[in-house]
Copies of this chain bind each other. A is one copy, B any other.
Amino acid sequence: MTKKLTEQKSEEGVTPAMERQDGKLEEEKVFKDPVHRYIHVRDELIWELIGTKEFQRLRRIRQLGTTFLTFHGAEHTRFNHSLGVYEVMRRMVENLEKKGAWDEEERLVCLASALLHDVGHGPFSHSFEKVFHMDHEKWTREIILGDTEINQVLRQMSPDVPEKVADVIAKTYDNKLLVSLISSQIDADRMDYLLRDAFYTGVSYGQFDMERILRVMRPEEDQAVFKHSGMHAVEDYIMSRYQMYWQVYFHPVTRSAEVILSKILHRARELLAENYPFKITPIHFKSMFNGEVTLKDYLKLDESIILYYFQAWEEEDDPILSDLCQRFMNRRLFKYVECNPSKQMLIWPELQQLFKKIGLNPDYYLVIDSSSDLPYDFYRPGEKDERLPIHLLMPDGRLRELSRESDVVEAISGKKRTDHKLYFPEDFLSDQTTFAKEKQKILSLLTNQEG
């Protein structure tokens, strides 16, 4: 009987792993994946980690937060991405193994870290972290070290494995090569998300030749380097990253939705602080607002919980909360103008006054959002946020930093780009049945500060 049952369909097969002495599954498990075609699981440890409820929870958290409101294809979750990072890492390790010995435990620590690197993310992390000063990295650590199924599975292997995995993810692990495979300027995480996010949004910018990059990777003591003959694939990757940041991740419409989301959270916190009588008590939020979230509380947070409240709040009496929630749920987003911070300071007081006059609280309806990105950086010793540069392995055996060889990378290297936008509810302003003069004035101020 058992035999038959284990022979069931392969995709995310429901069968518990057969026990084997060597930690390998009886039969390799295969997940169909639209980005990497197949995700292969041979190790029992990985199979069991995927089955834990903390990992399954990632199915209810979108990979790209509010991006689906701009690119409707981008509905994929962190579960999806985490499997992908694991698979990229599995292939990396397979290639690197051929070049030199890897300890079996080190290999599993590496794969587990890839799989679990995002496990601490909550719903719409970006906004939540800013509003509630949460830190998904801290939660990742707690989930790996705390009283969880994940911890249990890891400990079965050896009691110090959870600590090791947590250290790799925190970049404090002593095998720097291993750390660099997950966190560096070219790592399994980024390679998966660029390809995956490009696939699901449908943009063509994110394409690069990952297979080639993996084949030209060579292990060095504290990071992987890339054979010079593969430079163009690496160049292409850097350019993809650059394009994806500005075309997708920082898309102004996505940021409009994020602005609204943040303001909803602010408003709810304020109302809770004021003991506002919510129609449905936001129990899931209370601990967040008072900063006493337990691990158990945290693990309950997912996007369905958030959307449940937002839907409920559409009918709250508080006009700000209700309006913002309706905006988010029905995609009635804020408009934006480019914003020059220095010019904008001059008109800010007047704008705020005008907003108040027409009955709009400027704290919620007049919002500047700034995004900035540094697509690639060479080594700047001593600087804050210093990054390990990408090195090429030259034919003569020397290493050379990428931007010294590549014109296009050199062109964007070290150049931080920042973008400021001013968001506001244009629908309210264009309805000029009331306060026509003030609204006209606001619109004209917004336009002028832009030019």
Contact = CB atoms under 8 A, between A and B. Distances in A.
Residue among A4, A208, A251, A430 with max Cβ neighbours from chain B (10 Å) = A4
Contacts of A200: 34
Nearest to A7: B395
Contact of A335 (B15, B300, B334): B15
A333 interface: yes
A365 interface: no
A443 B1 CA distance: 7
Question: How many chain copies?
Answer: 4
B300 A33 contact: no
A204 interface: yes
A308 B332 CA distance: 24
Given A9-B253, A73-B76, A53 B329 contact: yes
Contact of A305 (B77, B251, B311): B311
A172 interface: no
Residue among A33, A209, A308 with max Cβ neighbours from chain B (10 Å) = A308
Interface string A214-240: 010000000000001100100110010
Contacts of A205: 232, 236
A72 interface: yes
Contacts of A69: 12
B305 A4 contact: no
Contact of A447 (B1, B30, B303): B1
A158 interface: no
Contact of A34 (B199, B306, B408): B199
Interface stretch (A102-110, A160-168, A286-294, A409-417): A409-417
Overall SS of chain A's interface:
helix
A232 B2 CA distance: 24
Contact of A251 (B11, B251, B427): B11
A344 interface: no
A32 B71 contact: yes
A77 B62 CA distance: 13
Given A4-B447, A11-B251, A407-B411, A38 B211 contact: yes
A41 B252 CA distance: 21
A169 to B, nearest CB: 22
Nearest to A256: B14
15 contacts: A4-B450, A7-B228, A9-B252, A11-B251, A12-B70, A13-B253, A38-B211, A53-B326, A53-B330, A75-B75, A75-B76, A204-B236, A232-B247, A300-B311, A304-B308
Given A56-B329, A232-B243, 14 more contacts: A9-B70, A10-B229, A11-B70, A12-B69, A34-B73, A37-B202, A37-B211, A56-B331, A59-B331, A73-B76, A75-B76, A235-B243, A304-B304, A408-B411
